[in-house]
Structure 1
């Protein structure tokens, strides 16, 4: 008979959970038993010197000292006062011979999640081989569940790690595999492996903080319910996979799946990062009565490398498979290869109803974004999803011949390339039940809708809404209305701009929510500024447009000192020397002017383009000359006539194609002789020119006088300051002032008259009536819904388009607040809690809702 050596191994420590980590237990007294519960205590022990002992005491580091067990005993249950754990002999033969094993069962309570807490834990020290890791997992299974803790290190695998449950569907086995971080604990697949981790039978898995490196055709994590005893029953369920990283060879040759899971019912995948793998995450159903469902993927990232790969696939492998409720939240994917698909609904069946929600999903450079091969009656809800195709001629939403009566509800903006097929309906199984894409705005110049009856496709100019199996969208999107034929005047001007043969002019009017409060820079980060940047990139830069004196210290210092300081630093403000005062009348472009009667006082503007136009108010008494200089050049004196009030335009041409510094100065004057300035515009000969004429505090009445002599509405996109497209946004200040819906509508109609039918105007200006989000600007009068209703009626009468940001914002301040869309004057551009003014993110969203109308 022989005694075997125990203790003093790399994993022979007594530990306890502490603050979510493992801590050693110095001085712990350990006894040894024949069973995990009860049994006979082993007292026939010897210490290292051969003296009899009945127990051992852990040293100052928590290590179990070396000792000899009873004759012929190779394993015992160790008890440190909590949960008994298994300790294995250091040698397999007599004293001094055999092989060392580096996996020992430790004797302390588990730190697993409470609802699947294991009875005991095994530790792997980072140099374990395949057989030892598998032995620990099998031991956990055989003992009703347990945790295998992988310490820092690389684990080279020669065979797949098998995490198995039992064939008994009424027995739940909870297995925990935990590392120390996805980059600290790494499983490396050897050559020829079909998978790294394989899940099977009835097993509940909690895996976290583990990384994997795979290659060839290897799957990362795979599972199957093919065991005969499990047919028609669950495989693994209520499982969690968190903080997992799976890396491939970055060669584009991988053809396996990073994660290939069968029937993951009520499971969670969170912070799963997949890079350099061919295919990403596949969730499939193998049985008619157990399918993927109540499943959540959160903050997962997939990079597909290679041709013909798929980022996310939901599949059924039986004709009766059903894909139930699944949520994909803030997941992303990118393709580095040709003929790749972002989301695929595949298999041989998939009949039944699925409600799948994709929130905050971003897919880029895929040939097909969403491909539904099979299924009927499914609803795919996409919320604030950015979908970008790779090159022209690709497909956004595709439905196969065996897919019918499915709906994509897409409430975000779809970015699509030119000549992209937005919607391809190949349904031939049930022609009377076509597939649909609803509530989608498209940012594209030539996207097409195709169907089985229209394979060539119909170009969709503005948005794709309603039953898109038809050749023409026929349903309004809540918050968006575009009448048939709208936009032809603007489109002609825009196309001429793109060809370099004309200038396409846009005018925006409204209050502070359009002027740019509280963007980081109201000239570039307000929604008109964002729109201008996008249009310049697409169709050419027509110049900086109008810089109005309402963005000056004379107007802003009394109410927005913090914003004024930030905007001055950003170069967005008209700077001044001396005292200037805001005028009392709503004259000229921007319905605003400031004045000074002190000789030598100056205003400085920034204007980009080859032409500069200076707008001043003349008449109404004797006025001093205006002196202007450009880029520090010689001052030029321009007389300011007396007599009837009028707007004088001083035009300077032949400038270099650059941004210019324009300084205006008050000439010789006496008290009461004023130089009155509206603003300065920078322009080019072609491209898109956006004039933001909004004025903080403006109401509908501000722009409501169509008479030319009033120097008012005709300068806000009308005959005296014309545009090819006008966007009208006045309203929130009306609501706060308790203006009735009828009065608001009358003021808007007067402005439309000034634009369309005053002087020589011939109605060739396209108009958008845009309704800003009211936020909490009015919580007393409740008139705002009346304006939205009147806007829709005015659109019918005058042929206008409508964009209702209030409806698109769910008429909820809290909703936009949850997205960080409200701003703050204390930190311009940043998210805050303002009642009605936006952050940079809010203005970006506003721009994205209106851009599809202007680019299609």
Structure 2
């Protein structure tokens, strides 16, 4: 028979002298033996008592501190009264469990399993065993206990659904998760958690290191109409690390038409392994997509920093409406790549915010947009930075290329340091708008290598270190209707430097400012229709006036007799120059040298006419150098009379 318990544990009940309502509670002397009664006055004495340990007693004895220990009479459930043998006073003592003063006592042995619950049926108190992982407690009047464990519905019907979340604990983390790793092939537990939440759930990784012996898949469907959201989140990129094992293709792969969000974790890679990849579906129903409406945020990918890694930090093909923010890649062979691999799909519509890439080794690329088939467009890169070792060859900071069309790209507030080529635009790429806030070049470097068309390159400061020879622009665009536009651009050429440029005759070069003791190509000093940034360069009056075109684009000479303007030396393709010819001491008639490197005068409508210059007046002659013909084409000869 269940027993009602009275009194308290040694630290629970201390009887002190005080008056509570109509009852007087005295101090019990240590060792006082009290008898038990059924009423305050009269009633029957209860002699069938038992200690909580099961010993039979007829009286209740206070301990050395005057405390009443737990005891219980057999079969009695109401309040009882303890009588002091010295004073005869009785003290009411309600039950702490059981009927009457409480409820029926429940032995500890009733609960057998972690998570068991105590429930009340219509007639008794009983045990409800713990449910399965992921189940929730649900009220149900049709079952005996009135409640039951049930698997939550997938939504709808107005019922509340708990978040579908699984925790994966790293070895040594001190945390017990839904899945617990041992430090070997931890991809098994991570994959199991991802599979358990399906396409609508969240997997949380604790702090610690997870060793991956295979790629973890975040997989969508081969049908773009099957939607879902998968979340994989760590405890921060410096706290949660996925160590990608040797020979493993990638740490994480966003596969098929998947919507997923990866955040707050780090990855380490070696060999040819990639950190995170996206692999597109090969079915029309999935529109050949991989990740879409997806994101990667607060993620770090680290290589071995010794030049042996050849993979990518992020290698993402056929992603669409994608966001990547606060991502760092360092010590790897390559940084972040976006690619379109199918003619049936246009990848892009993506943004990259506040990314940083530092690559190690030769021939690596920090950022790449490559369309091997079809089109890839509308990608914004903002506040993204890149660094390379100046000793490494073949490095490219930004690459836009591929046999397909790579177009409509925007770079804003980005910087580049120490790459062999800062910007490379392939012949199938166009409308690439680049804004470098700062560029540090190295000896032998090319700032902008432009084979595509309709591109715009602007920079803040370009720093050319002492004794370096660089090419600011190498423009091989052959589409004259859509020239590339170079500028505004600011150049500082340090001591002993040479800044070259190879620009097509129809390219637009404008708003170039320069400073420093180094040499800057004349074509970079003055753009079409823009006045020079420095005073006109004086020429020496002679029978044949010599011009070194590399010194600038505006020249001045006072002619003291009829003179020949000789063929300029050191011209730059597409260079435009102005000669100010001042008649001194009388009227003067200039003659322009013909033949190789010389001048040709426009004969169209209107034709250019060279006439005598009145004494004290100035003729301004504007000519453009055409490298194909090796001629300076005079396009205007204007007279300004002295006033």
2:499 is aligned, of 441, 444, 447, to 447
> Where does the alignment leave 5 or more consecutive residues of structure 1 unmatched?
1-46, 59-65, 83-104, 110-116, 455-459, 490-796, 800-856
C-alpha distance in structure 2 between counterparts of 1:440 and 1:325, whole Å:
23
**Equivalences for residues 201-280 of structure 1 within 5 A:** 201-229=256-284, 232-280=287-335
Classify 1:140/1:77 alpha carbon distance in 2 versus 1 (closer, same or farther; 3 Å).
closer
C-alpha distance in structure 2 between counterparts of 1:191 and 1:172, whole Å:
34
Cα deviation, 1:44-76, whole Å, max 9, x if unaligned, reads xxx995758997359xxxxxxx99779xxxx55
Q: Which has the larger helix fraction?
A: 1
Q: 1:355 offset after TM fit, Å?
A: 3.6
Cα deviation, 1:735-788, whole Å, max 9, x if unaligned, reads xxxxxxxxxxxxxxxxxxxxxxxxxxxxxxxxxxxxxxxxxxxxxxxxxxxxxx
C-alpha distance in structure 2 between counterparts of 1:107 and 1:198, whole Å:
29
1:329 is aligned, of 379, 383, 406, to 383
Match of 1:193 in 2: 248
C-alpha distance in structure 2 between counterparts of 1:78 and 1:49, whole Å:
25
Q: Report if aligned partners of 2:490, 2:513 keep a CA contact under 8 Å in 1.
A: no
Q: 1:119 offset after TM fit, Å?
A: 4.1
Q: Report if aligned partners of 2:514, 2:525 keep a CA contact under 8 Å in 1.
A: no
TM-score of the pair, normalised by structure 2:
0.53
2:116 is aligned, of 39, 48, 56, to 56
1:426 matched to 2:476? The reply is: yes
Match of 2:369 in 1: 314
The 3-state SS of whatever aligns with 1:154 is strand
2:422 is aligned, of 341, 355, 369, to 369
C-alpha distance in structure 2 between counterparts of 1:267 and 1:226, whole Å:
16
Classify 1:273/1:199 alpha carbon distance in 2 versus 1 (closer, same or farther; 3 Å).
same
1:305 matched to 2:360? The reply is: yes
1:122 is aligned, of 166, 179, 188, to 166
Aligned residue pairs total 384
Q: Report if aligned partners of 2:113, 2:130 keep a CA contact under 8 Å in 1.
A: no
Match of 2:559 in 1: none
The 3-state SS of whatever aligns with 2:301 is strand
Q: 1:247 offset after TM fit, Å?
A: 0.8
> Where does the alignment leave 5 or more consecutive residues of structure 2 unmatched?
1-106, 119-126, 140-149, 155-160, 172-180, 507-511, 516-520, 540-617, 621-643
Q: Report if aligned partners of 2:317, 2:340 keep a CA contact under 8 Å in 1.
A: yes
C-alpha distance in structure 1 between counterparts of 2:522 and 2:283, whole Å:
43
1:407 is aligned, of 452, 455, 460, to 455
Classify 1:256/1:55 alpha carbon distance in 2 versus 1 (closer, same or farther; 3 Å).
closer
C-alpha distance in structure 1 between counterparts of 2:275 and 2:302, whole Å:
9
C-alpha distance in structure 2 between counterparts of 1:48 and 1:132, whole Å:
35
The 3-state SS of whatever aligns with 1:366 is coil
Q: 1:425 offset after TM fit, Å?
A: 1.6
Match of 1:131 in 2: 188
Classify 1:118/1:311 alpha carbon distance in 2 versus 1 (closer, same or farther; 3 Å).
farther
Q: Report if aligned partners of 1:130, 1:156 keep a CA contact under 8 Å in 2.
A: yes
Match of 1:436 in 2: 485
Q: 1:483 offset after TM fit, Å?
A: 5.3
The 3-state SS of whatever aligns with 2:362 is coil
Match of 2:464 in 1: 416
Cα deviation, 1:574-626, whole Å, max 9, x if unaligned, reads xxxxxxxxxxxxxxxxxxxxxxxxxxxxxxxxxxxxxxxxxxxxxxxxxxxxx
C-alpha distance in structure 2 between counterparts of 1:203 and 1:150, whole Å:
20
The higher radius of gyration belongs to 2
Q: 1:331 offset after TM fit, Å?
A: 3.2
C-alpha distance in structure 2 between counterparts of 1:443 and 1:106, whole Å:
68
Higher relative contact order (CA 8 A, sep 6+): 1
Q: 1:288 offset after TM fit, Å?
A: 4.2
C-alpha distance in structure 2 between counterparts of 1:168 and 1:146, whole Å:
19
**Equivalences for residues 703-722 of structure 1 within 5 A:** none
The 3-state SS of whatever aligns with 1:339 is coil
Match of 2:410 in 1: 356
Q: 1:259 offset after TM fit, Å?
A: 0.2
C-alpha distance in structure 2 between counterparts of 1:236 and 1:386, whole Å:
32
Q: Report if aligned partners of 1:106, 1:121 keep a CA contact under 8 Å in 2.
A: no
Q: 1:374 offset after TM fit, Å?
A: 3.5
Q: Report if aligned partners of 1:412, 1:440 keep a CA contact under 8 Å in 2.
A: yes
**Equivalences for residues 6-17 of structure 1 within 5 A:** none
Q: Report if aligned partners of 1:221, 1:258 keep a CA contact under 8 Å in 2.
A: yes
Q: 1:311 offset after TM fit, Å?
A: 0.5
The 3-state SS of whatever aligns with 1:215 is coil
Cα deviation, 1:301-332, whole Å, max 9, x if unaligned, reads 111000110101011120x2132141322434
